[in-house]
Amino acid sequence: MTLLTEAVRDGAIGGRLWVYANYHCNLQCAYCLTESGPLVARRELSPERLQELAVEARAAGFTALGVTGGEPFLVPGLAAVLPALAKRMPTLVLSNGTLFTDRLIDQLRPLAGLDFAIQISLDSAEPDRNDEMRAPHNFAKVVAAVPRLQAAGIRVRIATTSEGLGQGELERLCNLHRSLGVPDHDHIVRPIVRRGRAAEQGLGADVVRRDLPAELTITADGAFWSPFGPTVRGGRLDTDLLTRTTSPLTVPAAAMVRVAQGTPRSEPAGLGVV
Ligand code: SF4
C-alpha cells in the first residue's frame, strides 16, 4: 500500500484527482476564482496529457478523476478522450453547460453506461438572478442542455454557487432540478469563495488552506492543494501551490501527503466541489 493510498483510506486527502483542462472560458462569471474568461491565456492540459494523468492516478492509488477549468469543453479533442478516462476511473467533468451542440452531444454518447457525470452550474431558479452572476441567457441554455444530455445517457449533476439562498429560493431551485430529472443527491450547494474575481468583487467567504478540500489538483502551472487552490488575482497565480513538478504524478502526490499530514483539519466548511 502506498503512502497516498493510506492517506486516501484514512481520509487525510480526497481520493479524487482534479485536473484543470484549461483556464479560458466563454463566460466571465462575477465570482470566478480562476478569473477565467474568453481572453485569458488558455493554459491547457492536452487531452493526451489528461490520459497520461488518468493512468498515473490509477496506479498511484487515486479512486476518481475530476476535470475542471475554465470551460473544459473548449479544449479541442476533450470529448473524444473522456470514454478512455471514464473506463479507467469514475470521472466527473465540471461545465457551464452552454456549449452542448448536437454535434458535441453525439461525441459524448459513448459515455453512456460508464461511471461518468457532467456537473453543470445553475445558481438560481430565477433566470434573471442566475444570469446576473453568470451571463445573459445562461439559465435558458442550461435548462435546455440538461435533458438533452440525459437523453444521450449522460448523468447530469447540478452545482449551485451562491452567497446565500433564502429557503424559498432554495426550494424553487430544488423543485427545478428535480423537474429536470436531477435527484437531490446530484445537487450540491456551495458558498462563493473569496478568491480570484470574487475577491476583486468583494464576494464570498474568506478561506485558508485548512478550510479547503484536500484534493490534489494538477494544472498547467503546477500541483495544488485543492481545486480551489489554483486561483488567480489580477492575472497572477496566488495560492496553495504544492510544487511546479507534475510529472511523474508521484512527486506532487508525495508532496500532498506530506502537507496533509502536517495540516490540522478544520470543521467541514461545505466548500466541496462535489
Ligand atoms: S465560474 Fe466557471 S463558467 Fe464562470 S467564468 Fe469561471 S470557469 Fe467560466
172: CATH: 3.20.20.70
Domain for residue 231, yes or no?
Answer: yes
- CA–CA separation, 52 and 74 (whole Å): 20
CB 119 within 8 A of CB 159: yes
Sheet order of strands, 16-20 included: 187-191, 155-162, 116-121, 91-95, 64-68, 16-20, 217-219, 222-224, 241-243
Running DSSP on this structure, what letter comes out for residue 219? E
Q: Which of 23, 27, 31 to mutate to test the pocket of ligand 1 (most atoms within 8 A of CB)?
A: 27
Take atom 3 of ligand 1 and give the residue whose Cα is closest.
Answer: 96
Domain for residue 267, yes or no?
Answer: no
Three-state SS at 233: strand
- Which cell numbers in the block locate residue 171? 426550494
Domain for residue 272, yes or no?
Answer: no
Question: According to the model, what pLDDT value does residue 213 have?
Answer: 87
Residue range(s) defining the domain that contains residue 205: 3-261
Domain for residue 151, yes or no?
Answer: yes
196: left (phi over 0), alpha (psi -120 to 50) or beta: left
Pocket of ligand 1 (CB under 6 A): 25, 27-29, 32, 34, 36, 69-71, 96
**β pairing state of 116-121 and 91-95:** parallel
Number of domains in the chain: 1
Domain for residue 274, yes or no?
Answer: no
Take atom 1 of ligand 1 and give the residue whose Cα is closest.
Answer: 32
CA of 33 to the centre of ligand 1 (A): 8
CA of 10 to the centre of ligand 1 (A): 32
Question: According to the model, what pLDDT value does residue 262 have?
Answer: 81
For residue 172, give the H/E element and its range: helix 167-179
Q: List, in sequence order, the alpha helices (H) in 113-249.
A: 127-133, 138-151, 167-179, 197-201
CA of 29 to the centre of ligand 1 (A): 5
Take atom 6 of ligand 1 and give the residue whose Cα is closest.
Answer: 32
CA of 177 to the centre of ligand 1 (A): 20
- Which cell numbers in the block locate residue 194? 473569496
Domain for residue 273, yes or no?
Answer: no
> Which parts of the chain register pLDDT below 70?
263-274
Residue 200 neighbours by CB under 8 Å, 6+ apart? 35, 233, 234
Question: According to the model, what pLDDT value does residue 264 have?
Answer: 65
Task: Please state the atom number of ligand 1 nearest to the C-alpha of residue 70.
Answer: 7
Domain for residue 184, yes or no?
Answer: yes
- CA–CA separation, 265 and 128 (whole Å): 38
CB 195 within 8 A of CB 231: yes
One-letter amino acid at 141 equals K
Question: According to the model, what pLDDT value does residue 163 have?
Answer: 82
Q: Give the closest residue to 155 by CA, choosing from 98, 95, 99.
A: 95
Question: According to the model, what pLDDT value does residue 193 have?
Answer: 92
Question: According to the model, what pLDDT value does residue 244 have?
Answer: 94
How far separated are the first and last CA of the chain, in Å rounded? 26
Domain for residue 68, yes or no?
Answer: yes
